[in-house]
Structure 1
Amino acid sequence: MKIRWLEYFIAVAEERHFGRAAERLGIAQPPLSRQIKQIEDELGVLLFNRGRSQVTLTQAGEKLLERGQQITAMLEEAQLEARRIGQGAEGRLRIGFVGSSTYGVLPNILKSYRRHHPGVALGLFPMNNAGLRSALIRREIDVAIARPKLDDAEIVSRQLVEERLVVALSDTHPLAQKRSLRLRDLRDEVTILYPERPRPSFADHVLELFRADGGEPRERIFAMDVQTAISLVSVEVGGAIVPESVGSAERKGICSVALDNPEATTAVSVNTRIDDQSVHVKQFVDIALKVSRRPL
């Protein structure tokens, strides 16, 4: 049965009058009567008892009315949901992010997005840059928060913030009381780098900065991510070069020292597929750019 036929039937069944039903539908009565007869012929049942003074439903008509009202209600709900999703008021958004971004601008972006779009379900997935790039291209996530950015012809990258790098040390380290250091001052110290794989990564960026300032650290240890690196610092394994937002986060037994190297910076970016024009992604990027321009 066609949806339009169901609407004709429901109008007659609710009005109990062909003339009023035709007026409600905005059509003439004879075509409506013919349409109802066609429905009955197709179903092979009588839906209405047609008396001289009134129209009543048969048992088959009563059941069809019950089910038909449920179907039309579901259709209206589906249309409303589709419209709200299309407008970005409902639906879901999958966000991948590097762990270090949780120390800086990302929490404020998420809070602002949830406040403006409470009906959208957020999926959050921590990954390194290689994982973010792969997941974004394979459409496993919709947005990637990367450091510093994702380089790919299929991806649009927009910088959110740039920040200084600092060295995180245990508060018992001999250099912990210094106001500032250069990377060359750390060449003889154990340096914790992250991640070890896949490469190139943030670890390679740090090593390049060391080379530019006179050479690589003589002893290095690789950690899986920034959280692991900070944990190793706290138990006096060595020092780690981290974004200022990570170094400034309060953690017992750890302090951060500024780096005098002018080029010792990093950035956080929001990355999306170049072909993704969905309203959810656009709204998230807009909010991310606005929030990142405010003071933290």
Structure 2
Amino acid sequence: MDIKQLKYFLTIAREGTLTKASKKLHIAQPPLSYQLKMLENEIGIKLIERTTRKSQLTDAGKFLYNRGEQIVELVETTLKELKDFNEGIEGTLAIGTIASTASMLPEKINKFHKIYPKVNFQIREGGSSRILDLLNNGIIQIGIIRHPFDSKNLKSKCLCKEHMLAATHDNFISSSKKKINLITLKNSPLIVHVKFKSMIVDACSELDFKPNIFCESDDVRSMLTWATTGMGIAIVPNSAVNLIPNINLKYKEITNPTLVTKISLVWLNNSYVSTTMKNFLKILT
């Protein structure tokens, strides 16, 4: 199985038919069908059930589709990294970032781009677990994630620290103060991120009350959307302020010193650190 055959298979799977795939790839249908047959013969298993109307993946085809996307990305990333040997002034840097920190990335990249204009970027966004998976699979070189995280096999550098905010609808806090103490939220329904639940519960415990957790979520945007309805108060990091535009939300900094989170750059402990990546780390840290 070569990379060309794998790319052909992935295109057929995405397009749904050989006809559409051949148009997408700008090759005739018979050669494409032949390449698929050669691939199936080589691995000894049927990947696609073909009919006159559509192509449907077999269970083996679904497995290869998922794995194949990772393989192609890894090959392409590796080829781009090889360009890095030109003193780190060319090539591609693959970065993964969680949603709540994505807004800070353009400024950092712009600073780097002014010095190294020939370096290109691949940006992946997702939750911390997805970013760490991409890092471990070699799809990205650097991750930007938020504490806490499992630091095993990772190197990291802290980018900044952030206070937590209360994203609230007018229904709950009418005060014009921009900063509040956590005790203010004692009787309010809270919307919390699963990542910060323990930290919030502990902070409330120090103030001798149990928080009224109305909803737990693993997505900051969803938390803010819930907060706009007035159903509860979302406790989010400071960098989440601009994730969704909504005039119904007010943000109050929570002053309790234990409600602080850190954002860090992470990369694999024993991985190859390209010159481009070293230059990027120097500028960011």
TMscore range, shorter length:
0.5 to 0.7
Distance in structure 2 (CA, Å) of the matches to 1:203 and 1:118: 42
Partner Cα distance (2:210, 2:116) in 1: 47
Q: CA deviation at 1:144?
A: 0.5
1:147 aligns with 2:146: yes
Structure 2 CA distance for partners of 1:274 and 1:90, relative to 1, 3 Å: same
| Deviation, structure 1 residue 273 | 1.3
Aligned counterpart, 2:122: 123
Cα shift readout 1:99-138 (whole Å, capped 9, x = no counterpart): 11124x3231122123322322211111222222222122
Provide runs of 4+ in structure 1 moved above 3 Å: 81-86, 174-180, 247-251
Aligned equivalents of 1:83 and 1:138: distance in 2?
20
Call closer, same or farther: CA 1:89–1:252 in 2, change over 3 Å. Answer: same
Query: 1:190–1:219: 8 Å Cα contact kept in structure 2?
Result: yes
Give, in whole Å, the separation in 2 of the partners of 1:84 and 1:135: 20
Residue type matched to 2:95 in 1?
I
Matches within 5 A, 1:189-200: 189-194=188-193, 196=194
Residue of structure 2 in register with 1:230 after alignment = 224
Asked if structure 2 preserves the Cα contact closer than 8 Å seen for 1:95 and 1:143, the reply is yes
Instruction: Select the structure of larger CA radius of gyration.
Output: 1
Q: Please, what TM-score do these two structures have when normalized by structure 2? A: 0.63
Query: How far apart in 2 are the matches of 1:84 and 1:258?
Result: 43
Residue 65 (structure 2) aligns with: none
- Show CA shifts across 1:131-174 (max 9, x none): 22222122221100011264333111100111211211013433
CA distance in 2, matches of 1:96, 1:164: 23
1:264 to 245, 255, 259: 259
| Structure 1 segments unaligned to the other structure (5+ residues) | 1-80, 290-296
On the 8 A contact 1:133/1:150 being kept in 2, the answer is no
Could you say which residue in structure 2 is the equivalent of 1:93?
93
Alpha-carbon distance between aligned partners in 1 of 2:250 and 2:264, rounded to the nearest angstrom = 26
What residue is the counterpart of 2:75 in the other structure?
none
Residue 220, structure 1, aligned to residue 214, structure 2: yes
Q: How does 1:1-296 map to 2 (within 5 A)?
A: 85-103=85-103, 105-148=104-147, 150-194=149-193, 196=194, 201-247=195-241, 251-275=246-270, 276-289=272-285
Q: Which letter does structure 1 place at the counterpart of 2:269?
A: I
How has the CA–CA distance of structure 1 residues 91 and 179 changed in structure 2, closer, same or farther, with 3 Å as cutoff?
Answer: closer
State the partner residue of 1:13: none
Q: Which runs of 5+ in 2 are unaligned?
A: 1-80
Deviations 1:174-199 (A, max 9, x none): 345344332233132111122x4xxx
For 1:84 and 1:185, locate their aligned partners in 2 and report how far apart those are by CA, in whole Å.
Answer: 53
Distance 1:106 1:235, change over 3 A: same
What TM-score do the two structures reach when normalised by structure 1?
Answer: 0.61
- 1:118–1:141 CA distance, 2 compared to 1 (3 A): same
Aligned-pair distance for 1:206? 2.8
CA drift at 1:82: 5.8
Report the count of equivalent residues.
203
Distance 1:208 1:128, change over 3 A: farther
Distance 1:248 1:127, change over 3 A: closer
Determine if contact 2:172/2:188 at 8 Å carries over to the other structure: no
Query: Residue by residue, what CA displacement relative to the aligned partner does 1:61-86 show, whole Å, maximum 9, x if unpaired?
Result: xxxxxxxxxxxxxxxxxxxx966644
- Decide whether the 8 Å contact of 1:150 with 1:157 is kept in 2: no
CA distance in 1, matches of 2:276, 2:209: 46
- Identify the range of structure 1 (83-92 vs 263-272) with the bigger mean alpha-carbon deviation: 83-92
One-letter amino acid of the counterpart of residue 114, structure 1: H
